[in-house]
A = this chain, B = another copy of it.
């Protein structure tokens, strides 16, 4: 059975992005700190075409997150660029350059229709305007039996969590306060739909909390 696996970094005060997100601050003011644990890792650098890097207790978590994944779902805000209708003159093709690190189909939740965008290295961005169920069905079909990763942002995660569609959740808890921004669990209610802790990894600058059902 193909699982939907949410993976996201959250601050100690519950934010997955800081305030005032923009092209300059894609994760909001201070939001970059959420991911400081991952940038030095060899496991992360390799995926992003860089050499060297560290191996620590987070390495196995990052490696595990990449295994058996056949598609990714993300929100429009995480794909980024600008709010509202797509700019045909200056098309925004994501944060990741010509060869994004996904290497499989990516489904972007948006209110604004756009033709699929084929990048180098096997990544195709498909823009889904008819909601989270449709994106999940398309993701599952594209994954062909493998799992589907949900990478955020907050609003995409909230919708899937509230609908009880998340089968696994890895929260990488960063020991910082953002004070404002987008909260992961805002409006999700009190029901984790059977998600229970299954594994905790304490690593430099982060604690990984894995939930499954």
Report the Cα distance A202→B14, complex, angstroms: 19
Residues from chain B with a CB closer than 8 A to the CB of A30 are 190
With known contacts A207-B209, A209-B207, A197–B175 Cβ distance under 8 A: yes
A176 within 8 Å of B (CB atoms): yes
Q: Which of A160-179 contact B (CB under 8 A)?
A: 171, 173, 175-179
Give Cα A12–Cα B209 distance, bound, in whole angstroms. 10
**Are the C-beta atoms of A196 and B175 separated by less than 8 Å?**
yes
A185: contacting residue among B13, B197, B207, B209, CB under 8 A? B13
Chain B residues in 8 Å Cβ range of A176: 190, 192
Q: Is A179's CB under 8 angstroms from B175's CB?
A: no
Query: Nearest-CB distance from A114 to chain B (Å)?
Result: 33
A196–B12 Cα distance when bound, in Å, is: 11
Q: Is A61 an interface residue (CB 8 A)?
A: no
Query: What string of 1s and 0s marks CB contacts (under 8 Å) between A182-193 and chain B?
Result: 011100111110
Residues of B contacting A102 in the complex (Cβ-Cβ under 8 angstroms): none
Residues of B within 8 A of A178 (CB): 190
CB of A211 within 8 A of chain B? Answer: yes
Judged by a CB distance under 8 angstroms, whether A22 is at the interface is: no
Give A contacts to B, CB under 8 Å.
12-14, 30, 171, 173, 175-179, 183-185, 188-192, 196-197, 199-200, 202, 205, 207, 209, 211
